[in-house]
Chain A
Amino acid sequence: AQTVTQSQPEMSVQEAETVTLSCTYDTSESDYYLFWYKQPPSRQMILVIRQEAYKQQNATENRFSVNFQKAAKSFSLKISDSQLGDAAMYFCAYRSANSGTYKYIFGTGTRLKVLA
């Protein structure tokens, strides 16, 4: 069975600085998707960024980028130029690309605090 591990329960970053959130996963599959979701306090969970395992190039979305290391089974999220609105719980998630599999496996989350 696949597992997702986020080893940092909480992180802090100064506004305008850069922070990296860690995620590791375990799978025997070769084709899968990885995601970072953001859940602000009392607000809706939204997708931040996704990565297809077959793509070697790291995904980027504006200030958000990932460092995807397939061999190491590592998928970290880098937030550049941190803003107060980035404060939230961040969940790393895995989804198999196998046909007939529709479940998402979440890590335990990292709470990000942004200091003014």
Chain B
Amino acid sequence: DAMVIQNPRYQVTQFGKPVTLSCSQTLNHNVMYWYQQKSSQAPKLLFHYYDKDFNNEADTPDNFQSRRPNTSFCFLDIRSPGLGDAAMYLCATSNSLFPTRQGYNEQFFGPGTRLTVL
């Protein structure tokens, strides 16, 4: 089945120790998103890619970086995690190119990576 995969599902890191979260998709969608979600809150968009074009949200801290080496993969790098960065990180994809394909302009989410910062 086509899907959005996030690894690892659970990540524990130490305060200030860089960490990378990964996302891959088999949907061949052109847009990929990273969200931060804290308990019982709405997902907060960090950035998104339209193909290789990177779009950062104005309030995303510089501590958060992203890479998209190809259509299928996208990475979230947290350079110096703080206690406040402990959250669920959601990756999502969207097809915005092919209106006749199922799921046009819908978001498909991965299961998330829960980050703990000690």
Contacts and interface: CB of A to CB of B under 8 A. Distances in A.
Question: Interface size bucket, A side?
Answer: 20 to 34
Given A45-B90, A47-B106, A50-B106, A109 B42 contact: yes
Given A33-B105, A108-B42, A109-B40, A102 B48 contact: yes
A35 B106 contact: yes
> Which of A33, A43, A44, A111 lies at the interface centre, i.e. has the most chain B CB atoms within 10 A of its CB?
A44
Given A95-B105, A102-B50, A103-B48, A44 B42 contact: no
A108 B41 contact: yes
A44 B43 CA distance: 12
The prevalent SS among residues of A at the interface is: strand
Counting chain B residues whose Cβ lies within 8 A of the other chain, the interface size class is 20 to 34
A97 B48 CA distance: 17
B107 interface: yes
Interface stretch (B19-27, B72-80, B109-117): B109-117
Contacts of B108: 47
Given A47-B108, A95-B105, A103-B48, 14 more contacts: A37-B107, A44-B112, A45-B109, A47-B106, A47-B107, A102-B50, A102-B55, A102-B94, A102-B96, A103-B45, A106-B43, A107-B42, A108-B41, A109-B41
